[in-house]
Structure formats: structure tokens, C-alpha cells
């Protein structure tokens, strides 16, 4: 496993972070709790020391239980929503209650990275005005080490919220959507994070589109119909064939994780899965060499300017 420094935090993290949410939720979405526990245990065995979860995922207790004896070797990232079910902002004291519940479920007395979860551009100002001060008090108490923010990439595909958030120099970590189909964080987010030494967690490296040929084809057809990519430069029947046919690349999923992991400014890539076998393969992908230059150039020519899709 490769390790790297996470922004300016002093945390030494594995280049792969275990994503305990997404559609798989460690396998809890379709399988049993023992499957989820097995995935976390396997992650530990593979050398993964970074675990990203959230109150809403329902996986904090699995991470807390399995990693109880390993806490000092692990980095825990968890999150609180900022809106309630009615769509109203959560009161600041409830944000702190959410932190307390996360501490309890993760069986720990501190969270390494506490994130505001899925903040929309129009919500950022309220969050900055109302949540940062109380959260900084929790930092002073030692219950939180670093503050982070995650974007709602499904809606905010061009990173409007994160661009604004990074102007504030409040957050030590950002979680950003980035993948072969929408590499817009390359210009908008990574340079500024690199300059200011803000830790970067990449999400949506694969998500649903890049693990399913039908979905990839639909996303690409839509982009071509909307003239966001050049129709003439794609092979209509098999738009990602140039990747699948390359002898140095095992699969589109492998290419997707390799694409993210060797990007300048990326600290770690989150991998979401309910399968130990997928996790092993994905760790190999993240740790392997950058994609061949001709593949990177082709991807850049095709999708380099796309910022309208998330790849879900």
C-alpha cells in the first residue's frame, strides 16, 4: 500500500480510502452485516488506514466495532448532514449532537476529519456563519482534529460550492467528485488544494456509470446529443473500447481508479464496495502506474472539458 501526507494535517494516509457509503455501503445495501465487517477487516489487512463514513450511511458502527483495537493506526472521516428531512437547516447544537452520536458509534473519543456533508452552493454561507464556530470549540476540546466539507456532486457537477469554500481557508479537507467522464476538478479544485495544502479525498471515481457498460454508453450518448463532446471522435457502438482493448489495462474499473490516483493534487481515492475481491483489485489499481499516455490524451480530448455529469 502506498501512503501519503494528507494536506497539511500531518496525517499519513493510505492512497486508498475505504468509502463506507455510496450504493454499496460496505455491502449492507444488499448483504449482511457480516459481509460489511469482512470488507472492513479486509481493508485493514490490505493496509488501508483511511475510513470514510457518515451518520446517514448506517455504517459507522461497523467501522467502530471492527477497528476498535486498531483505532490509533486509523484515520476516521465522518459527516453530519446540514439539512433535516424537511429541508431546513439543522440547528448548531444538533450538529454537535450528531458529532456525539458519531463518536459513540465509531467507539472513539475523537474524529480525525469531521465533514459537513453534501453542502449545496446556496447552503455554504449559512454553514460558515453558524456551524464553524461551534465545531472549532469541539476541535479545542479534542473531539475533532480537522474540519472538512463534501460537495453534492450529483447536483454540483462543476464544484461551485467547493470553489467558494476554498476561499475561506476554514477546511483542512475537501471531498470532491472526479472521474474520467468529468475531470473538471483538475482545473478548479486540485491546484488550489495543492497550493494551500488542503487534503483531497476523491469520490465518484467509478460510481455507477463506470462500472456498467450500458450506463457509460448512455452518459456518453447524452453528452454527444448535447454537443458537450465531439460526436465524430467517439466510436458510437463502443465508446470506451480504446480502454477495454488496451493490453496494459485490465478493465474500465481499473482504468477509472488509476485515472484518479495519479492525478496531481489527489491525496487519496475513496473506493466503495461490498466485495473483498473488488477491494483487492481496486487497491492494486490505485497503487499501480498512471494510465498509458495515449489513453490519457484520448480521454482528455474526449472528456477534458466536461463538467455537467457526475457519472452516477
| Residues with catalytic roles | 57
Helix segments in the chain, DSSP class H: 33-45, 60-66, 92-105, 124-130, 132-141, 160-165, 185-188, 190-196, 213-225, 241-244, 252-261, 276-287, 293-303
Query: What are residue 264's phi and psi, to 5 degrees?
Result: -60, 130
Q: How would you class 292 by CB atoms within 10 Å of its CB: exposed for 0-12, middle for 13-18, buried for 19 or more?
A: middle
Question: If binding is defined by CB under 6 A, does position 24 make contact with ligand NAP?
Answer: yes
Among 35, 152, 170, 296, binds ligand NAP (CB under 6 A): 152
Contact letters for ligand NAP, residues 162-181 (x by CB under 6 A): -------------x------
**Toward ligand NAP, which CB reaches closer, 96 or 152?**
152
CA distance to 94, 123, 124, 218, 245, per residue, from 255 (Å) = 41, 34, 33, 19, 12
Q: How many CB atoms lie within 10 A of CB 31?
A: 16
What are the residues facing 6 on neighbouring strands?
A: none
Residue 288 touches ligand NAP, criterion: CB under 6 A: no
Residue 49 has what DSSP assignment? -
Residue 159 within binding range of ligand NAP, rule CB under 6 A: no
Q: Which is nearer to ligand NAP, 211 or 308 (CB)?
A: 211
Is residue 282 involved in binding ligand NAP (CB under 6 A)?
A: yes
Site string for ligand NAP, 189-218 (x = CB under 6 A): --------------xxxxx---x-------
Binding of ligand NAP at residue 127 (CB under 6 A)? no
Residue range at the interface with ligand NAP (CB under 6 A); choices 84-92, 218-226, 269-277, 300-308: 269-277
Query: Does residue 258 bind ligand NAP (CB under 6 A)?
Result: no
Q: Does 74 bind ligand NAP (CB under 6 A)?
A: no
Answer for the pair 201, 78: CB distance below 8 angstroms, yes or no: no
How many Cβ atoms sit within 10 Å of the Cβ of residue 243?
20
Of 203 and 216, which has the nearer Cβ to ligand NAP? 203
Cell of 50: 483511511
What does the binding site for ligand NAP look like in residue numbers (CB under 6 A)? 19-24, 52, 79, 117-118, 150, 152, 175, 203-207, 211, 253, 270-275, 278, 281-282
Amino acid at each position: 500500500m502506498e501512503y501519503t501526507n494528507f494536506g497539511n494535517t500531518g496525517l499519513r494516509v493510505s492512497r486508498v480510502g475505504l468509502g463506507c457509503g455510496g450504493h454499496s455501503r460496505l455491502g449492507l445495501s444488499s448483504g449482511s452485516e457480516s459481509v460489511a465487517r469482512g470488507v472492513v477487516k479486509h481493508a485493514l489487512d490490505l493496509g488501508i488506514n483511511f475510513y470514510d463514513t457518515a451518520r446517514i450511511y448506517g455504517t459507522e458502527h461497523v467501522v467502530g466495532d471492527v477497528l476498535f483495537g486498531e483505532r490509533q493506526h486509523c484515520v476516521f472521516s465522518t459527516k453530519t448532514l446540514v439539512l433535516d428531512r424537511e429541508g431546513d437547516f439543522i440547528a448548531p447544537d444538533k450538529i454537535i449532537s450528531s458529532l456525539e452520536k458519531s463518536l459513540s458509534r465509531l467507539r472513539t473519543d475523537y474524529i480525525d476529519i469531521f465533514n459537513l456533508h453534501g453542502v449545496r452552493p446556496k447552503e455554504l454561507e449559512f454553514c460558515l456563519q453558524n456551524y464553524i464556530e461551534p465545531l472549532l470549540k469541539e476541535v479545542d476540546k479534542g473531539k475533532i482534529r480537522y474540519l472538512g466539507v463534501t460537495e453534492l456532486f450529483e447536483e454540483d457537477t462543476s464544484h461551485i460550492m467547493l470553489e467558494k469554500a476554498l476561499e475561506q481557508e476554514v477546511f483542512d479537507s475537501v471531498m470532491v467528485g472526479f472521474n474520467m467522464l468529468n475531470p473538471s476538478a483538475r482545473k478548479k479544485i486540485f491546484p488550489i488544494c495543492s497550493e494551500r495544502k488542503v487534503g483531497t479525498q476523491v469520490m465518484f471515481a467509478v460510481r455507477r456509470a463506470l462500472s456498467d457498460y450500458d450506463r457509460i454508453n448512455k452518459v456518453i450518448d447524452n453528452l454527444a446529443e448535447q454537443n458537450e463532446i465531439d460526436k465524430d471522435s467517439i466510436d458510437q457502438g463502443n465508446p470506451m473500447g480504446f480502454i477495454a482493448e488496451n493490453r496494459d489495462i485490465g478493465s474500465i474499473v481499473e482504468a477509472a481508479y488509476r485515472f484518479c490516483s495519479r492525478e496531481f493534487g489527489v491525496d487519496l481515492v475513496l473506493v466503495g464496495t461490498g466485495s473483498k475481491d473488488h477491494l483487492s483489485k481496486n487497491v492494486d489499481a490505485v497503487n499501480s502506474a498512471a494510465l498509458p499516455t495515449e489513453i490519457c490524451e484520448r480521454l482528455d480530448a474526449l472528456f477534458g472539458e466536461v463538467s455537467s455529469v457526475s457519472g452516477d
